[in-house]
Structures are given as C-alpha cells and as structure tokens.
C-alpha cells in the first residue's frame, strides 16, 4: 500500500522541474512520478491546486533538549517543525549539557528516533562548552552524527580560535556555522542601536557588532579555505560583505531568518518582549538589503532560528527577557510573502528551504525523483490564516507575528513516507 500524491504542481529544484504531476511513495522512498493512474490499494492525497515540494530543511533551530525541556523538547519541537512544513531540522548545541561530545549527540539522535516527528540533524559545538578555548573532538562528533559545527548563541570571540576551527573542520568536510557578534560592542544591548532604541531608552546592539565579525570570518575563510556559513544575517553591511566575498570566490554560504525581512526595530512598540531577538530586528534599510540579498543569491538559505521560551520568561522587563522568537510554524508562510510581493520567484524561494541548505551542509540534495527519500511538503498557496499563539504546537508561544494575516501555508508534511500532519 503506497501513498499517492495526485495532481499537485511539483517543484523539484534539484532537477529544475516545475510541472503538474503525481508522486507515488512506497515505504520511505519515492517509487514513481509522472501522470500515474490511481492504482487500487494506494492511499491518495488530492494535491490539485497545491504546491508539492521536497521536504523543507531548517538548518538552524533550538530544540532545547537536553536540559531546557520546559521551553521545548525534541518531541514538541519536531511536531511544531512538521506543522511548519519541515521534514529535517538541524538543532544547535547550546543545550545543557552542551552538545560538545558524543554522548549528547547520541542522546539527541536516540530521542529523535523514538519521539521525533521529523528528521533531526545535530550540530556539534566548535569549542568545548562553547567557551571558545579548546576545539571539540570534531571527528568523533561527526562520526556520531553531527553534520556541522557551531557555538551558536555565542560567537567564537578570538580570531585565532576561529581560524583553527575553519582549518580543522576541513579534515571532516563539515561547515563551521558562525554566530557573528562582537560581544564587546553588543554587551548589555537588547535591541538594534538606532533612533528607536534611543527613544525607548534601551541599550542598543550596533550593526557593527555583526559586521566586524562577518568581515573577520571572511578573512579567515580566505586564509584557511575552510567551509564557512554565516548564521542569521541581519544587516545591510553584512549582506554587502558577503556579496563581495562570494564575488572574490571565497567558499561561504549565508542564511537569514524571516523576522529580518518582515519586521524592523520600529516594530518594538510598548516593550513587546516577543520581538526581542539576537541579532536584533534592524532598521528598514537593513530589511531591504536582506531581501535584495535573498533575491540576488547572496543569502542562500532561509532558516528559522526557532528559539522557544516559556511564557513566564518573556513576561518580564525588556532588559531581563531572554532573546528568541518561536519560528517553526510561521517561517514558510512569512517567506512566501516575498513571492507574493514579487521580490523572489517561487522556485528561488523553495531552493532557500531545500537544496541550498543541503548544499551548505554538504548533504545529499533533496529531490522528488524516483529513489529519493520520501520527504515531501505540500503547500496551499491560497490558504489564508491569522497567526494565533494559542494554536501553536511548540511549547514556546513567543511568536513575533501574533495577529498577522498571511496567505500561503504548508498543509501536509510527509517524513520518510509517513504522513505527519494534514
């Protein structure tokens, strides 16, 4: 008994396909594609009028387990991710204990296998304890299942350490995902430094805090030939630096998150802590630059940086609230607005969520061809829904988009042939 997805508009970036056709899934693989007659015995999904794409990949999220299960755990996080159309998520190592050794990696994978609703790829720490002093056993971590390394949540403050990380990771062919933030410039800051932070009387994080480190990491990538991926790009200056670096032929990929092309620092009204995020929401010109970066390929990937927190943690003074936006369930719908606005083509958008993150990680490119793993996302481009925190599946209801009316939502997620949502 297979699963037949009938009549959807199939977009397969790996093969450049954009046409209406059927897909037959048997087991955990795609068995056949094309104009298929409805064979008896198959479970059918009517995808007419809908978009069928390879399962979306999120290469940057926080699942909080082990250690912070009150905010989220692998079960609830992957459930929320699947609802957001993701079939693969890469979880950052800033758990407790930090994923800087094999046993934590194995724990995460075991949990994901038993309780997870989608595929989980752990990202290992660059340095032990993410303290920035000693490299982790990257070989062992890679062998255990980590597909990239990052100290996300924190930057690697010393240039020497980052250099060694970029060099050493070459041995295992894994990317270093850099959280670019010069902490001496950002120290104490809680939102973007500018006219809005001045008015609100909040300490600001200048764009320069991100840009000085982007520039540094680019120079180090040039020096080492290592594989560099810049996380959550938020400023105009960063986009410009990355564009130039790519032109110069440096091996670099970059991601941004939906909040950096949807909201600005002016939206932080009445001290709403749901808009407190790091890097912070920037000014309008930065938002425009991020959208341009997505359009011209400077920014390869859209990731969620899903960062759930307990409600009580956010209901405090702005200075005290933790940084982070719960993003799985709204990421795609927010991103499709770029297509509605004519800033990005549909194919380009799907690439940002599928082949591009796979390529940045160095894993097999997702596809809907025969023999591929049956990770599929079905999207209704016409569906209109209002963002409602109470209806969210993540334990973290800290969405920055409550009340927003969006058109274009994932409606069915299939992971390894199993229907997860829909």
Q: How far is the CB of 204 from other proteins (least distance, A)?
A: 7
**Among 4-12, 157-165, 194-202, 249-257, the segment contacting other proteins (CB under 8 A):** 194-202
User: CA-CA distance, 61 to 396, in Å (whole number)?
Assistant: 13
The nearer residue to other proteins, 237 or 258, going by C-beta atoms, is 237
179-205 CB burial, b ≥16 within 10 A, e <16:
bbbbeebbeebbbbbbebbeebebebb
Q: Which of 206, 237, 280, 308 binds other proteins (CB under 8 A)?
A: 206
Span from 16-24, 29-37, 193-201, 239-247 in contact with other proteins (CB under 8 A): 193-201
Whole-angstrom distance between the N-terminal and C-terminal Cα of the chain? 19
Q: Catalogue the active-site residues.
A: 305
**What minimum distance in Å lies between the beta carbon of 263 and other proteins?**
18
Q: Report the residue from 35, 37, 160, 270 that binds other proteins according to the rule CB under 8 A.
A: 270
Angle, vertex CA 114, rays to CA 111 and CA 118, nearest 5 = 85
> Which has the closest alpha carbon to 72: 61, 58, 57?
61
- The least CB distance from residue 344 to other proteins, in Å, is 30
Rounded distance between C-alpha atoms, residue 342 and residue 321, angstroms: 36
Cβ neighbours of residue 235 under 8 Å, at least 6 residues apart?
207, 210, 211, 279, 282, 286, 289
Q: Which is nearer to other proteins, 87 or 273 (CB)?
A: 273
Task: Confirm if 33 and 45 have CB atoms less than 8 A apart.
Answer: no
Min CB(281)–other proteins separation in Å: 15
User: Is residue 85 near other proteins by the rule CB under 8 A?
Assistant: no
Q: Which C-beta is closer to other proteins: that of 48 or that of 315?
A: 315
Number of residues that bind other proteins (CB under 8 A): 22
Kindly identify the residues of this chain, within the stretch 293-332, that bind other proteins according to CB under 8 A: 312, 315-320
Which is nearest to 313 in space by CA: 398, 403, 191?
Answer: 398
Choices 198-206, 344-352, 362-370, 390-398 (CB under 8 A): range interacting with other proteins:
198-206
Residue 272 or 288 having the CB closest to other proteins: 272
The radius of gyration computed from the CA coordinates of the chain, to the nearest angstrom, equals 20
Chain residues binding other proteins by CB under 8 A are: 193-204, 206, 270-271, 312, 315-320
């Amino acid at each position: 008994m297979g699963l037949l997805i009938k009549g959807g508009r199939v977009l397969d970036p790996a093969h450049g396909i954009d046409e209406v056709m059927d897909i037959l899934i048997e087991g955990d693989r795609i068995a056949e594609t094309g104009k298929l007659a409805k064979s008896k015995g198959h479970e059918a999904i009517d995808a007419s009028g809908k978009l069928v794409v390879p399962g979306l990949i999120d290469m940057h999220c926080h699942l909080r387990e082990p250690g912070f299960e009150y905010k989220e755990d692998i079960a609830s996080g992957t459930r929320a991710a699947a609802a957001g159309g993701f079939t693969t998520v890469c979880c950052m190592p800033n758990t407790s204990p930090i994923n800087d050794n094999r046993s934590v990696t194995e724990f995460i994978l075991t949990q994901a296998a038993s309780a997870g609703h989608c595929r989980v790829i752990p990202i290992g720490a660059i340095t032990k304890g993410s303290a920035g002093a000693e490299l982790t056993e990257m070989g062992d971590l890679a062998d255990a299942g980590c597909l990239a390394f990052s100290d996300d949540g924190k930057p690697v403050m010393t240039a020497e350490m980052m250099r060694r990380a970029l060099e050493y990771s070459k041995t295992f062919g894994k990317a270093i995902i850099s959280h670019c933030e010069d902490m001496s410039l950002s120290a104490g800051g809680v939102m973007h430094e500018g006219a809005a932070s001045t008015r609100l009387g909040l300490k600001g994080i200048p764009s320069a805090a991100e840009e000085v480190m982007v520039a540094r990491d680019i120079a180090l990538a040039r020096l080492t030939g290592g594989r560099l991926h810049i996380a959550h790009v938020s400023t105009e200056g960063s986009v410009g630096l990355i564009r130039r670096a790519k032109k110069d032929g440096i091996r670099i990929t970059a991601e941004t998150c939906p909040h950096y092309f949807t909201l600005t620092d002016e939206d932080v009204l009445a001290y709403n802590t749901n808009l407190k995020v790091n890097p912070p929401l920037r000014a309008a010109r930065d938002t425009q630059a991020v959208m341009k970066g997505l359009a011209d390929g400077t920014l390869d990937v859209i990731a969620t940086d899903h960062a759930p927190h307990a409600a009580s943690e956010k209901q405090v003074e702005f200075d005290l609230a933790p940084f982070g936006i719960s993003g799985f369930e709204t990421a795609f719908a927010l991103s499709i607005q770029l297509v509605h606005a004519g800033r990005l083509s549909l194919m380009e958008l799907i690439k940002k969520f599928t082949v591009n993150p796979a390529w940045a990680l160095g894993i097999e490119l997702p596809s809907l061809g025969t023999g591929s793993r049956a990770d599929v996302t079905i999207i209704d481009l016409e569906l209109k829904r209002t963002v409602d925190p109470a209806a969210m599946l993540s334990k973290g209801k800290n969405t920055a988009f409550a009340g927003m009316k969006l058109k274009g939502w994932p409606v069915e997620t299939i992971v390894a042939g199993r229907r997860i949502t829909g």
